Structure 1
Amino acid sequence: MAVLESGFDFEGPAMFKVQQHFDDDKVNRDQIHSVIRDQFHGEPIKNRIRPGMKIAVAVGSRGIRHIDFIVHTVIDLLHEFGAKPFIVPAMASHGGGEAEGQRKVLGNYGITEETMGAPINASMETIDLGTVDGVPVYFSKTAFESDLIIPVCRIKPHTDFKGPIESGIYKMLCIGLGKHKGASTIHSAGYAAFPTLIPNAGQLIIDNAPVGLAVSVVENSYDEVENVYVIPKELIPTEEPKLLQKAKHLMAKINIDPIDLLIVDELGKNISGEGMDPNVTGRSPVPGVPFEGISTIHRIAVLDLTEETHGNATGIGMADLTTKRCFEKIDLPVTYANVLTAGLFESAKIPVMLENDREVVGVGLKSATLVPPKVARVVRIKNTLHLSEFWVSEIIAKELSDNPKFTVTNDIQPFRFNQDGNFSW
C-alpha cells in the first residue's frame, strides 16, 4: 500500500545552523556551593537544623542541571550541622511507580547512596494528611516521620496548567511526595483544579508535616542554573510565585513563526514532564491551556527517545509522526504508569509511525504545507530543552539574517540520510 502517492522521495530545503541568543546569567558549580552554604549558615535557616535530626531530602525525577552536585552539597552541609540526612524520591509514579524503579531514576542522575554519602529510602507507603477542596491529600510516610523535610526542586512553568504556582515546591510536596497514591488522587481532580488545588494541598502539607525549608533552582534559557534559592517554609507562599515569574521570563522558546514542520530529534522525561515541553510546542494533552508566545506549528515529528527516559514516552501523543525505532524503545508499562496517574491518556497515543527518518520527514513535508518541500519552513531541534542552537530551512534563515536575537552561521547542510534512511548529519 502506498503511503504517499509520489513515494518517499523528496528534495528537501538546505538547512542552516542558527544560534539563538538569550539572557545568559548563571552560576557555576563553585558559586552554587557558595550560595547554598551561605544561605544555610544565615538566618533563618541554620537554627532549624539541630544535631541528631533525621532529615528527609526530597529529590525528584527531573533533569535539573547539576542536580547531583546540589543534592551532595545539601547533604554535606546537613552532616556539618550534625544531622542525619537521608534521601526520599519525590517523583510520584515515575520509575514505574515502584521503589526500585525510583532508585534507578535517581541513579541515572548520579544520586546513589555511595555518591551522596546518605541512605535512600524509596518506600512508596503514604499516610492520609486530610482533605483539601474535597480531595484527600496523601503524603510519604517516610518523609512525614522525619524530623525535617527539605525538598530540592526546580521552579518552572508547568506543561499542562497555568496559575500563580505551577511546577516547584508545592507540586513536589503534594504530588512528588504524595507517591503514586497521592499523585493519582490529586490528578483525579483534573488539571482545571490545579491552580488552586496544588497550593492549597501543598500548604496543608507545610502546616501538618515537618517541612522546614526548600532548596529551589531557577534555570536560564541555556539550561544552566541561574541561581539557587534556599527558602524557609514561612516564605514559600510569597517567594515561589516570584521565582515562577522569573523562570517564565528566562524560559527558552523557538521564536520563529510559523513552522511547517518541526523535527524533534529526541523526547524524554529528562527533557520535560511531557517529553517535549508544551511551553515550546504549544501542544498539551489538556485542552485550552493558554500558552504565550508560541509558534504556529503545523506538523511535529519525533525521531527518538532519550536514553535517560528509559522507555517512558509520555508526550509522544503530542507528535504527528514518529519512527519505528522510537516506537520500539517505548516501555509501555512505565509510560502507562505515568499517564494513567496523571489521567492524560492523550500523552501516550502513538502517532503515525513510519520506518525511518526519511519516511517521517517526507510525509511531514508533504502533509504540512502545499508549497514544494524545497521551500518549506522547517525547523530541526535536538529537544525542547536545548534551543540555543538548531537548524532552519533556507527561507527561515533569510528572514533571520537581520534579527539580532539570532546568528545565522555558515554551517549549511542538505537533507542527507544513511543507508538505513536515518539522518546522517
Structure 2
Amino acid sequence: MTYPKLTQITQRLNDTRIADIDATIAAEMKRVGLAGRIKPGSRVAVTAGSRGITDMIAVLRATVNEVKKVGATPIVVPSMGSHGGATAEGQTGMLEGLGVTEQSLGAPIVSSMDVVDLGTTAEGIPVAFSRDAMECDAIIVVNRIKPHTEFNGRIESGLTKMMVIGLGKHQGAINAHSWAVRFGYERTLIASGQHILARAPITLGIGIVENGFNQAAVIEAVTPENFIEEEVRLLERAKHNCPHLPFDRLDILIVDESGKEISGTGMDTKVIGRVMNIYEPPLDHPHITRIVLRDLTEKSHGNGLGVGLADFVTQRFADKLDRGYTDVNCVTAVTPEKGRLPIIGKTDRMAVDYAFASAGPVTPDDVRLCWIRNTATLDRMFVSQALLDEVARHPALDVVSDPIDMEFAANGDLLSPSPH
C-alpha cells in the first residue's frame, strides 16, 4: 500500500503558567482566611483524583503544608468514584502510579470505599459521601476545572464533580450517572453538590485551570458560600485555554495512546468529536471518518474506557486491556458503549490499512490525515500533504519539517519520523 508523506507542524497554545505554586496557594489560603475556617488540632481531608494533572502533586503538597501551618492534621482521601476497579487498594495504586503518596505529599493516604448516606435531593437523587471525609472536621476539595467529556453545562468537570462523584466513591458515582439519565449531568451535579455543601464539612475548594500545555495557569481558592458560582466562572476561563485539533474534517486520525490520566474517556471526546452518549446530543465537530488508537498508557492500569470511540485498535492495545477495570468504570458511568472493542489490527500497519480501506475514496495525495500523541498533547502533530494549504492559512499553525515518508518497521510498528 502507498502512504502519504507527512509534515510535522506546531500549534501555538496558551502558555501562561504559575511560576511559584507554593506562594500562590499560600496567598489564596490567606485571601479566603484559612486560619479562621480550620481550628488547630482538627482533622482535614484533602481530595486526590485519578487524573494525570501536571501540577497536582505540587498543588496537593502546598495545600497539605498550609493545613499544617494552622495547626491541623491533613489526610489525603482518594476521590475517584469507581476508578481503580472500585476498590480501596486499586485507588491507592492509581494514586501511587501518579506519584501521589504519603512521601510526596507529607500526609497519609486514607483509602476506603465506605460511604455514608446523606439522604436525597429535592429531585429525589440519593447522595452518598465518603465516610473517611465525612468523619473529618473539614474537607478541602482539590481538582482541575475543565470541559467535561460527556456534556456541556454551566459546570462540567471540576470541584462539584469531585464532591459528588469523586467523594461519592463507587455508590456516589452510580447514583450520579444513573440520575443523569433522567435529569442530565448539569442538574444532577448541581443539585447533589448543593445538597453536600449543606450537610458535609466542605471548607474550601482549590480550582486549577490549565494552559494549553496542561500546566497550571490559574489556581484559586473557592469558598463554600459561593462554590457553584465560582466554579462557573473558572470553567469559562478554562474553555478559552483548552487545546483543540485545528481541523474540522479529517479522513483519518492516528492516536498514539489513550489513558485515564489523559482524559476520563481515554481520548477527550471534544477533541475527537465523538461523545457516544445515549442521553446527550452528539457533537457536530470535528468530523473524523476513522480513528486508529495504537496503545493504552501504563497509568491506566488496564482501564480502557473510551476504547469504543475508536474504529481500530492494535493488538498491543488489546493485550493491555483489563476487562474487569474497564467494565466496572463503563457500567458505573452508564456508558457501556465506550467499552466496546473495535476491530483489532495485529500491527500498527494493519490497523492503519484498515482505516484507509474504510475511509472512502481517498488517495495518498488527497487523504486528510493527522497523527497525534494523545488528545491532551496538541502542540505538535504530523499531517498529510492535503492539509498543508489549511495549515498555511491558520494563524496558530507553523510547518517545522520537510515532507517525509510514512514508514513502518519490519514488525509493522509505525515509525515516528521524530520525537513527538
Deviation at 1:115, TM superposition (A): 2.1
**Which range is displaced more, 363-372 or 308-317?**
363-372
Map 1:2-17 → 2, pairs under 5 A: 10-17=1-8
Deviation at 1:49, TM superposition (A): 1.9
In structure 2, distance between residues paired with 1:25 and 1:232: 25
User: Could you say which residue in structure 2 is the equivalent of 1:174?
Assistant: 164
Summarize deviations over 1:315-370 as a string: whole Å, max 9, x none: 00010011111001001111111111111000100001111110111110121120
Deviation at 1:25, TM superposition (A): 1.5
Deviation at 1:88, TM superposition (A): 0.4
Alpha-carbon contact 2:32-2:223 (below 8 Å) kept: no
Map 1:253-268 → 2, pairs under 5 A: 253-268=244-259
In structure 2, distance between residues paired with 1:402 and 1:318: 30
Instruction: Verify: 1:84 aligned to 2:73, yes or no.
Output: yes
User: Could you say which residue in structure 2 is the equivalent of 1:104?
Assistant: 93
Map 1:192-211 → 2, pairs under 5 A: 192-211=183-202
Deviation at 1:391, TM superposition (A): 0.6
Alpha-carbon contact 1:279-1:291 (below 8 Å) kept: no
Instruction: Verify: 1:271 aligned to 2:266, yes or no.
Output: no
User: Could you say which residue in structure 2 is the equivalent of 1:118?
Assistant: 107
User: Could you say which residue in structure 2 is the equivalent of 1:235?
Assistant: 226
Map 1:10-89 → 2, pairs under 5 A: 10-28=1-19, 31-89=20-78
Secondary structure of 2:393's counterpart equals coil
Secondary structure of 2:353's counterpart equals helix
Match of 2:151 among 143, 149, 161: 161
In structure 2, distance between residues paired with 1:254 and 1:402: 15
**Which range is displaced more, 350-359 or 402-411?**
402-411
In structure 2, distance between residues paired with 1:336 and 1:290: 23
CA RMSD of aligned residues (A): 1.4
Aligned partner of 2:78: which letter? P
User: Could you say which residue in structure 2 is the equivalent of 1:252?
Assistant: 243
TM-score normalised by length of structure 1 = 0.95
Map 1:243-322 → 2, pairs under 5 A: 243-287=234-278, 289=280, 294-322=285-313
Deviation at 1:411, TM superposition (A): 4.5
Alpha-carbon contact 1:148-1:212 (below 8 Å) kept: yes
Instruction: Verify: 1:187 aligned to 2:189, yes or no.
Output: no
**How many pairs does the alignment contain?**
414
Secondary structure of 2:403's counterpart equals strand
Alpha-carbon contact 1:45-1:232 (below 8 Å) kept: no
Aligned partner of 2:3: which letter? G
Alpha-carbon contact 2:275-2:283 (below 8 Å) kept: no
After superposition, the Cα gap between the structure-2 partners of 1:291 and 1:27, relative to the gap in structure 1 and judged at 3 Å, is farther
Deviation at 1:289, TM superposition (A): 4.0
TM-score normalised by length of structure 2 = 0.96
Q: Name stretches of at least 5 consecutive residues in structure 1 with no aligned partner.
A: 1-9
Summarize deviations over 1:80-120 as a string: whole Å, max 9, x none: 11100001000000011000111111111211122222111
Match of 1:348 among 339, 342, 357: 339
Q: Identity of paired residues, percent? A: 38
In structure 1, distance between residues paired with 2:202 and 2:180: 26
User: Could you say which residue in structure 1 is the equivalent of 2:133?
Assistant: 143
Aligned partner of 1:115: which letter? S
Instruction: Verify: 1:398 aligned to 2:385, yes or no.
Output: no
Q: Name stretches of at least 5 consecutive residues in structure 2 with no aligned partner.
A: none
Secondary structure of 2:208's counterpart equals strand
Deviation at 1:22, TM superposition (A): 2.0
**Which range is displaced more, 169-178 or 115-124?**
115-124
